[in-house]
Amino acid sequence: MKEGEIRRLLAANLLCFFAIVLTAVLPAFFWKGFTVLGTHLTWLCICSVCVSALNIILHLVFRPNLTPKRSSFAQKISRFLKCCMYFFMSCILFHAIIVLYGAPLIESVTETFLFAVLLSTFTTLQCLCILGPNIQAWVRVFNKNGATSIWESSLQITTMCSILGAWFGAFPIPLDWDRPWQVWPISCSLGATFGYMAGLIIAPLWIHWNRKQLTYKSR
């Protein structure tokens, strides 16, 4: 395993990490009264857009899934449209799952959907960037020992950390502490965000420490 590839992964992950930090700090200089808690829905939109744009740019720069096979313009357009459709379907699916886990069905629909968009940004968008609209590749990567590169290993870690963070973030909501951050879906979205940020740091460190044991077989 090349150290240079791990450094590239670390650089990409650190850029995503600091981009999220900037979404919480930078808008306050231009938007009076902006806070992550006070204007949470606005922050959800800003964070989702910024992380999505940065992930796409990093994918184009680092090209973690670059193959010698070239695609025609029509194939690239078809792939792009499929990715858009998969991302939208992911938002709908996450919205439905969140409702099944206890989120309000009719009330707070906007809040729930924006939280679903954030989760899709942290999980599905990365899958689309690294694996493309290939469900079989998604299933392979999330099986045990299914990763074939350090980028796919990082994808496994950040995805699981994001989902676990969102799940743990739901624990304080029913408690009668009457804190501002207990309003739906603040604690869940913050939990998902902190989980994703933790995964961004954990992934390259874990891969570096276990690089001698990791063997990637091409499929």
pTM, full prediction: 0.92
**pLDDT at residue 70, rounded to an integer:** 65
* pLDDT digits 0-9 by tens, 56-72: 999 988 876 655 566 67
Closest CA to 122 of 90, 170, 89: 90
Mean pLDDT over each residue of the chain, to the nearest integer: 90
Give me 58's structure tokens: 């990093």
pLDDT digits (tens, 9 = 90+) for 150-206: 999 999 999 999 999 999 999 998 887 888 888 999 999 999 999 999 999 999 999
What does the block give as tokens for 78?
Answer: 């078809």
Section 38-46 average pLDDT:
95
User: Where would I find the H helices in 2-108?
Assistant: 3-25, 40-62, 73-100
- Is 85 a residue whose pLDDT tops 90? yes
* Predicted local distance difference test score (pLDDT) of residue 160: 96
State the Cα–Cα distance between residues 10 and 167, nearest whole angstrom. Answer: 26
What is each CA distance from 184 to 24, 100, 138, 200, in whole angstroms? 18, 15, 30, 25
**Cα–Cα distance measured from residue 27 to residue 31, given in angstroms and rounded to the nearest whole number:** 6
Q: How far apart are CA 212 and CA 207, in angstroms?
A: 9
Q: How many helices (H) and strands (E) does the chain have?
A: 8, 0
> pLDDT for 116-161, tens place per residue?
999 999 999 999 999 999 889 999 888 877 788 899 999 999 999 9
